[in-house]
Amino acid sequence: MEPRQARIGRQALLLAMLDEGEEGPVLSQLEALSWRYCQGRVGAMEPHKIVAAIETAAKRHGVVDGGLYREMHALYHAILEAVHGVTRGAGRAGRFVENRWPSFRRRARHAV
DSSP readout, 76-112?
Answer: HHHHHHHHHHHHTT---HHHHHHHH-HHHHHHHHH--
pLDDT attached to residue 71: 95
Q: pTM of the predicted model, to two decimals?
A: 0.69
Q: Which residues contact 66 (CB under 8 A, 6 or more apart)?
A: 59, 72
Domain boundaries, the chain: 1-37, 40-112
Q: What is the pLDDT of residue 72?
A: 96
Please state, in angstroms and rounded to a whole number, the distance separating the CA atoms of residues 49 and 70. 22
Mean pLDDT per 10-residue interval, the chain, length 112 residues:
71 85 90 88 82 93 95 92 75 55 46 37
Whole-number pLDDT of residue 109: 42
Query: Position 14: which residue type?
Result: L
Q: Tell me, what's the pLDDT at 99?
A: 55
